[in-house]
Amino acid sequence: MSRHLNVPIFIPHLGCPNLCVFCNQRTISGAQHFDPAEVDGQIAQALATTTEQDTAEIAFFGGSFTGIDRELMCCLLDIAERYVQNPMAGKARVSGIRMSTRPDYISQEILEILSRYSVRTVELGVQSLDDAVLAASARGHNASCAERACRMLLEAGYEVVGQTMIGLPGSTLQSEIATAKALCELGVQGARIYPTVVFADTALCEMMQSGRYKPLSLDEAVERSAATLRVFEAHGVRVIRIGLCASDNLSDPALALGGANHPALGELVRSYLYYQNLRKLLSRASDPVQQVEIPARELSLAIGQHKQNLLRLQAEFGAQLKLVASDCRAPKIYEKEKEHCT
Q: Choose between 25 and 309: whose C-beta lies nearer to ligand SF4.
A: 25
Q: Compute the least distance from the CB of residue 319 to ligand SF4, in Å.
A: 45
Say how far apart CA 148 and CA 15 lie, in whole Å. Answer: 21
Q: Compute the least distance from the CB of residue 203 to ligand SF4, in Å.
A: 10
Q: Choose between 68 and 84: whose C-beta lies nearer to ligand SF4.
A: 68
Which of 8, 63, 167, 258 lies at the binding interface for ligand SF4 (CB under 6 A)?
A: 63
CB 215 within 8 A of CB 258: yes
Nearby residues of 25 by Cβ (< 8 Å), 6 or more positions away:
12, 13, 16, 62, 63
Q: Is 36 buried (19+), middle (13-18) or exposed (0-12) by CB count in 10 A?
A: middle
Nearby residues of 283 by Cβ (< 8 Å), 6 or more positions away:
317
Query: In this chain, which stretch among 2-10, 12-20, 219-227, 300-308 interacts with ligand SF4, using CB under 6 A?
Result: 12-20
Say how far apart CA 206 and CA 212 lie, in whole Å. Answer: 8
Instruction: Compute and round to an integer the Cα radius of gyration of the chain.
Output: 21
Say how far apart CA 245 and CA 242 lie, in whole Å. Answer: 9
Say how far apart CA 62 and CA 50 lie, in whole Å. Answer: 23
Query: In this chain, which stretch among 20-28, 151-159, 205-213, 310-318 interacts with ligand SF4, using CB under 6 A?
Result: 20-28
Q: Choose between 110 and 268: whose C-beta lies nearer to ligand SF4.
A: 110
Identify the helix (H) or strand (E) that includes residue 78.
helix 70-85
Q: Is 23 in the site for ligand SF4 (CB under 6 A)?
A: yes
Q: Choose between 67 and 258: whose C-beta lies nearer to ligand SF4.
A: 67
Which of 7, 16, 68, 257 lies at the binding interface for ligand SF4 (CB under 6 A)?
A: 16
Q: Compute the least distance from the CB of residue 96 to ligand SF4, in Å.
A: 23
Which of 64, 163, 179, 225 lies at the binding interface for ligand SF4 (CB under 6 A)?
A: 64
Give the per-residue contact string, 89-128, with ligand SF4 (x = CB under 6 A; - = no). -------------x----------------------x---
Helix (H/G/I), strand (E/B), else coil: 255: coil
CB 290 within 8 A of CB 320: yes
Q: Compute the least distance from the CB of residue 231 to ligand SF4, in Å.
A: 23
Give the per-residue contact string, 136-155, with ligand SF4 (x = CB under 6 A; - = no). --------------------
Q: Choose between 24 and 309: whose C-beta lies nearer to ligand SF4.
A: 24
Which of 25, 121, 179, 309 lies at the binding interface for ligand SF4 (CB under 6 A)?
A: 25
Segment 241 to 280, residues that bind ligand SF4, using CB under 6 A: none
Residue type for position 93: R
Say how far apart CA 106 and CA 199 lie, in whole Å. Answer: 27
Residues in contact with ligand SF4, counted by CB under 6 A, come to a total of 11
Q: What is the full DSSP assignment across 103-122?
A: GGG--HHHHHHHTTTTEEEE
Task: Based on DSSP, count helices (H) and strands (E) in the chain, helices before strands.
Answer: 13, 11
Query: Residues interacting with ligand SF4, by CB under 6 A?
Result: 13, 16, 18-20, 23, 25, 63-64, 102, 125
